[in-house]
Amino acid sequence: TGTRSMTDKPRVWVSRPTFPGVIARLEPHFEVTVEDTERKLGPSELAARLAGQDAVIVGLKDRIGAAEVGAAERLRIVANLAVGYDNIDVDAMSAAGIAVSNTADVLNESVADYAWALLLGAARRMTAAERWLRAGHWHATEFKAWLGTDVRGRTLGILGMGRIGQAIAHRAVGFGMPVIYHNRSPLPEEVERACRARHVDKAQLLGESDFLVLALPLTPRTRHAIGAAELALMKPTAMLINIARGGIVDDAALAAALRDRRLAGAALDVFEGEPKLHPALLTLDNVVLSPHIASATTETRRAMTSLAVDNVLAMFGHGPHAGRPPNILNPNVL
Ligand code: DGY
């Protein structure tokens, strides 16, 4: 990293290609290095990249703990390009005096839209029907082919009722679906009223939901929050939608339940150990699969990048939030 004088600009490293026009907002204040390919770095490569940086913008593929920042003596902020931050050991960053920020809020609506896309896709068997059509099987239109299930009047369950869960609930009005939810702490009454959702305990949520959407973060407490025991409480006609994080669902248990039709269907955007998938999931026709794209719209990915940039700028005293990154997760370090 060489010797640096006090007049050198601080350095920022961006771990992946994003939106150059947005990253350019850093340039007046920082010396910016951007990885030009989408590649997962191993722990020692990552540590070598972080060493000598004053700020970094990283993504879920970058797992950052005490070891990775051990040699990063100048590092003041790790800005995550995601709302979820299970890739970052926040306690270890706090111990090292490093701020951590996420991209809360700017992706709520895109992710909620996508949860509904998956829900409807599963209910109407869209992706299986498309695979069948593309395979050249459509020779005659049959009255009773590809029958799906209606959503109107069915109960929507939401596990994890934060800002994304609430955005999902709001959309249920148009589909005429009553909403129940479970959260560690019930929402204030006026918020419940605004999204017409009723708090129930977890067993009730599992037993009563026709469509169960997961919208909670992955933490040690939520790992396998949906495993064999929970799946057994669900209706055999129910469908599970995961737009949250791989690891919240025990994918092996889910694949077994789908195979045995103990659960009618699922739609998954996230997987345990992704980009690898549990191989059984790939063989099942009653599951819709997508490659972790719930927040992937041009508008939202750009807004996420912009917010990460805002957090870095703020940490170094620039911009409207000077001194206090707007999405800081460990304000104790300030
Ligand atoms: C998030 O923001 O946590 C998503 O999973 C990645 O966009």
Convert the pLDDT of each residue in 185-220 to its tens digit: 999 999 999 999 999 999 999 999 999 999 999 999
Tokens of 9: 């600009």
The dihedrals phi and psi of 154, each to the nearest 5 degrees, come to -80, 155
262 is catalytic: no
Question: Residue 166 has what pLDDT?
Answer: 98
101: enclosing H helix or E strand: strand 99-101
104 lines ligand 1 (CB under 6 A): no
Q: What is the rounded distance in angstroms from the CA atom of residue 165 to the CA atom of residue 159?
A: 8
Question: Residue 6 has what pLDDT?
Answer: 66
CA 262, distance to chain mean position in Å, is 27
Tokens of 107: 């992706």
* Bond before 275 cis per omega within 30 degrees: yes
The dihedrals phi and psi of 269, each to the nearest 5 degrees, come to -105, -10
292 is catalytic: yes
295 lines ligand 1 (CB under 6 A): yes
Nearest to 241 by CA among 150, 128, 111: 111
- Distances 221 to 207, 224, 266, 295 between C-alpha atoms, Å: 21, 9, 23, 24
The model's pLDDT over 12-38, given as tens digits with 9 standing for 90+, comes to 999 999 999 999 999 999 999 999 999
Q: What is the rounded distance in angstroms from the CA atom of residue 39 to the CA atom of residue 139?
A: 43
Q: What is the rounded distance in angstroms from the CA atom of residue 163 to the CA atom of residue 110?
A: 12
Atom of ligand 1 nearest to the CA of 245: 5
Q: What is the rounded distance in angstroms from the CA atom of residue 167 to the CA atom of residue 113?
A: 9
Tokens of 228: 């064999």
245 is catalytic: yes
User: Which residue is closest in CA terms to ligand 1's atom 4?
Assistant: 82
247 lines ligand 1 (CB under 6 A): no
From the CA of 61, how far away is ligand 1's center (Å)?
Answer: 11
Question: Residue 268 has what pLDDT?
Answer: 98
User: Which residue is closest in CA terms to ligand 1's atom 6?
Assistant: 82
User: Which residue is closest in CA terms to ligand 1's atom 7?
Assistant: 82
68: enclosing H helix or E strand: helix 66-69
From the CA of 146, how far away is ligand 1's center (Å)?
Answer: 32
pLDDT by residue for the chain (334 residues), tens only, comes to 456 776 789 999 999 999 999 999 999 999 999 999 999 999 999 999 999 999 999 999 999 999 999 999 999 999 999 999 999 999 999 999 999 999 999 999 999 999 999 999 999 999 999 999 999 999 999 999 999 999 999 999 999 999 999 999 999 999 999 999 999 999 999 999 999 999 999 999 999 999 999 999 999 999 999 999 999 999 999 999 999 999 999 999 999 999 999 999 999 999 999 999 999 999 999 999 999 999 999 999 999 999 999 999 999 999 999 999 999 999 999 9
Q: What is the rounded distance in angstroms from the CA atom of residue 111 to the CA atom of residue 304?
A: 12
Atom of ligand 1 nearest to the CA of 102: 2
CA angle 87/92/98 to nearest 5° reads: 90
Q: Which of 292, 302, 318, 321 is catalytic?
A: 292
Exposed, middle or buried by CB within 10 Å (0-12, 13-18, 19+), for 267? buried
Atom of ligand 1 nearest to the CA of 270: 5
84 lines ligand 1 (CB under 6 A): yes
Exposure string for 5-15, b = 16+ CB within 10 A, e = fewer: eeeeebbbbbb
| From 57, 111, 218, 300, mutation site for ligand 1 pocket: most ligand atoms within 8 A of C-beta | 111
